[in-house]
Amino acid sequence: MKQRKLGASGPDVGALGLGCMSFGGLTGPTNETDSFAVLDRAWDMGMTHFDTANIYGPYTSEQVMGRWLAARGHKPSIATKASITRAAHHPISNDPAYLQAELEGSFKRLGVDHVDLFYIHRREPAIPVEDVAGFMGRLIDAGKIGGWGMSEVSPTTLRRGHAETPVTAVQNEYSLWTRLPELGLLQECNRLGVAFVAFSPLARGVFGRSVIDPAHSDFGAFRLEMPRFQAPNWAQNKSRAQAFQTLAAEYGHNAPALALAWLLAQGDHVIPIPGSRTATHVSDWDGADQIELTPDLAAKIDAILPVGWAWGDRYSEAQSKVPERYC
């Protein structure tokens, strides 16, 4: 697999990373055997950056990854995150004492004493991002983390944090159906030498080999809350996704590989992190980094999926409370 830089001074990693949220059961039921198979297939394909978080499960994803690391002896680049507390009175915490304690807990679950990347999973407005950046800088100096990042933040927050301690990566949702990062954040990451890690690059399963079915019993409550999967929006979105599948087949590709290739073409600093509960789905991504997005193909994709094509918001009102809004 082709390599990309995880930030200006970060390690070289596979152009595709692996998002490990699904190991925690947030997108439907799974088990450790299947999760190990996903990790094995991803590693064999050259995916060397694995992304997890304390909240996935909670803790399950990190625990599974820790047991896999111990069993296999591989040394991937690992990113983890903390900030989402799930406490109604204080749902987000960027307090240094909290972040320190959560990082130490992640180390124990992962079986490591260092991670390449540690994110604040969301920004807490009450704490200046400069203070967070200063704390992260101290973690870097102590050898606890290789670099730091932020998730679901604005270009302004990125600039402020980066000025205090250089940011390694920003992780926001980005795909053919969520294009918000193009309104400044993608460009600012490129200007500052910050990796842009695209989560949900396959539109939460929409761009699979077959179009996902929200009526399926294991679809998961988390996705069912999203307006894009609800009537009447879903019928419109499904129709577009099917048209994209047809286009991909016409060019000899499958839909997930082409969707990932489109993201990779948006900048050398973009690192998509698709996730899955099955090794079969992971295999669908193989070769995405080799697909040439010709001007003709790009134009046809844009005709089917123009900017803003998706019906419905990406999050419910409850889910929208903590990501930063900047447009």
Is residue 56 among the annotated active site residues? yes
Counting every residue written for the chain, the total comes to 327
Contacts 24+ apart (CB under 8 A), 104-111: 105/54, 105/59, 106/54, 106/62, 106/80, 106/82, 109/59, 109/62, 109/63, 109/65, 109/66, 110/52, 110/62, 110/65, 110/66, 110/69, 110/78, 110/80, 111/66, 111/67, 111/69, 111/70
β-partners of residue 170 are 150, 196
Which residue out of 56, 119, 174, 315 is catalytically annotated? 56
CA 281 vs CA 17, 177, 202, 224: distances in Å: 14, 20, 11, 21
Q: How far, in Å, CA of 215 to CA of 210, rounded? A: 14
Active site residues: 56
